Amino acid sequence: MKVQERTGAGNHRSSVPTQSAGERLPSPPRERKPALAALAVLLILVGALGATVLVLRAGERIEVVRITEDIPAGKSVSDSTMTSVMVADDPSIAYVPWEQKEGLKKLQAKNTLVAGTIAIGQMFSDKAGLPEGKAFVGLSLKEGQYPAGLKIGDSVAAYRVGDDAGKSNQPGSSGSSGGNALIVQSAKVNDIVRATGDTISSGNLPVTVMVSSSEVATLTQAASAGQVALVLVPSSSS
């Protein structure tokens, strides 16, 4: 009887449904979105392509014109005053390509260009021009009438020197015989012609300065008499 009771009890327990610990409830099937997946792949490809283009552009270099000697305003470049140089391509900068050097020689510099300048299109014009109210005056200076190391682009003051200097009525005159009278307070050296091996020098230094139109007459009169001396002064934006 005891054996039968145990057996019956065992049968009773086995009739209750059980769930093992490793089993999980079934999950609903995931909804696939092929359009979103394709868009994500496309965005990745576009980003990679853009990065590649930027890298290639950063390494792209072009051959442009570089000025090797000072070029006065109104003057043109020549084969001896320019060379080629490689620079990083930048569409926002109007570099003058080296292959356009022949056309560049037909243009004039708007302002004085110093050696080492990279040629930019806006620096040149097909006609020489001067700022309004300005004029060029040529001087022939003896040694001692100009400072050593005078160069294109320097700012200078012009003084009348000699026996007639004290008679000048120009502002800045010392008012005494033999004194130096200020003719031009601030002028810009535009050109200097120095003697070379192929040039016979007269001993004087030809210098062209840019001055105010109102100062031309007095400066020219003093220059014709050889009574002009130049003195370096701080640069002026005017």
Output the domain CATH number for residue 87. Answer: 3.90.1210.10
Pick the closest to residue 115 from 148, 80, 90 (CA basis): 80
Q: Are residues 227 and 162 in the same domain?
A: yes
Q: Are residues 206 and 138 in the same domain?
A: yes
Residue 196 has pLDDT above 80, yes or no: no
Q: How many residues does the chain have?
A: 238
In this predicted model, what pLDDT tens digit does every residue of 76-119 receive, in sequence order? Answer: 899 999 999 999 988 889 999 999 999 999 898 887 888 899 99
Q: Are residues 119 and 93 in the same domain?
A: yes
Confidence of residue 234 (pLDDT cuts 50, 70, 90): confident
Which one has a higher pLDDT value, 72 or 180?
Answer: 72
Q: Are residues 67 and 110 in the same domain?
A: yes
Give the residue from 125, 146, 166 where a domain finishes: 125
| Residue 167: per-residue pLDDT | 54
Pick the closest to residue 191 from 107, 79, 108 (CA basis): 108
Provide the 3-class DSSP secondary structure of residue 185.
strand
Give 145's contacts (C-beta < 8 A, 6+ positions apart): 161, 228, 229, 230
Q: What is the DSSP code (8-state) at residue 1?
A: -
Give the residue from 125, 152, 179 where a domain finishes: 125
Q: Are residues 146 and 224 in the same domain?
A: yes
Q: Are residues 197 and 166 in the same domain?
A: yes
Pick the closest to residue 121 from 132, 133, 107 (CA basis): 107
| Residue 175: per-residue pLDDT | 39
34 domain residue, yes or no: no
169 domain residue, yes or no: yes
Residue 168 has pLDDT above 80, yes or no: no
Structural domains in the chain (count): 2
How many Cβ atoms from other residues are within 10 Å of residue 101's Cβ?
18
Residue 86 host element (H or E): strand 82-88
Tokens of 75: 């003057």
In this predicted model, what pLDDT tens digit does every residue of 33-52 receive, in sequence order? Answer: 677 777 777 788 877 777 66
Q: Which domain holds residue 176?
A: 134-232
Taking the C-alpha atoms of residue 37 and residue 230, their distance in angstroms, rounded to an integer, is 78
End-to-end distance of the chain based on CA atoms, in angstroms?
Answer: 128
103 domain residue, yes or no: yes
Give the residue from 93, 125, 157 where a domain finishes: 125
Q: Which of 132-141, 165-174, 209-218 shows the lowest mean pLDDT across its residues?
A: 165-174
Q: Are residues 177 and 212 in the same domain?
A: yes
Provide the 3-class DSSP secondary structure of residue 189.
strand
Q: Are residues 155 and 119 in the same domain?
A: no
188 domain residue, yes or no: yes
Q: What angle do CA 155, 158, 160 make, to 5 degrees?
A: 170
Q: Are residues 148 and 109 in the same domain?
A: no
189 domain residue, yes or no: yes
Q: Are residues 144 and 196 in the same domain?
A: yes
Full DSSP string of 91-157:
TTS-B-BGGGHHHHTTSEESS-B-TTPBPBGGGEESS----TTEEEEEEEE-TTSS-TT--TT-EEE
90 domain residue, yes or no: yes
Residue 131 has pLDDT above 60, yes or no: yes
Q: Are residues 151 and 118 in the same domain?
A: no
Which one has a higher pLDDT value, 170 or 55?
Answer: 55
237 domain residue, yes or no: no
| Residue 109: per-residue pLDDT | 87
Q: Are residues 121 and 95 in the same domain?
A: yes
For range 119-139, the mean pLDDT: 83
20 domain residue, yes or no: no
Task: Please tell me which of 32-36, 47-51, 70-74, 206-210 the model is most confident about, judged by mean pLDDT.
Answer: 206-210
Are 225 and 162 in contact, with CB atoms under 8 Å apart? yes
For the chain, give the mean pLDDT: 78
